[in-house]
Amino acid sequence: MADLCKVAKELKDRFMSFEIRHVERDFNAAADVQANLAIHLKNGEVQEEWDMN
């Protein structure tokens, strides 16, 4: 996690806005799904739509 945090801090200036929030595990299911999808995207690829159902 420390390595990922470092990368996030290095990349944050490339965005118009940037926010890091802690989300308790009970409320993290949607974020977990998105994170797991994101790790399979190619560098620079963006997935704009997703379905939680």
CA 48 to chain centre: 13
26 DSSP assignment: G
**Contact (CB, 8 A) for 53 and 29:** no
Residue 46 burial (C-beta neighbours within 10 Å; 0-12, 13-18, 19+): exposed
| pTM to 2 decimal places | 0.38
Q: How does pLDDT run along the chain (53 residues), one tens digit per residue?
A: 788 888 888 888 888 888 878 888 788 888 888 888 888 888 887 776 656 55
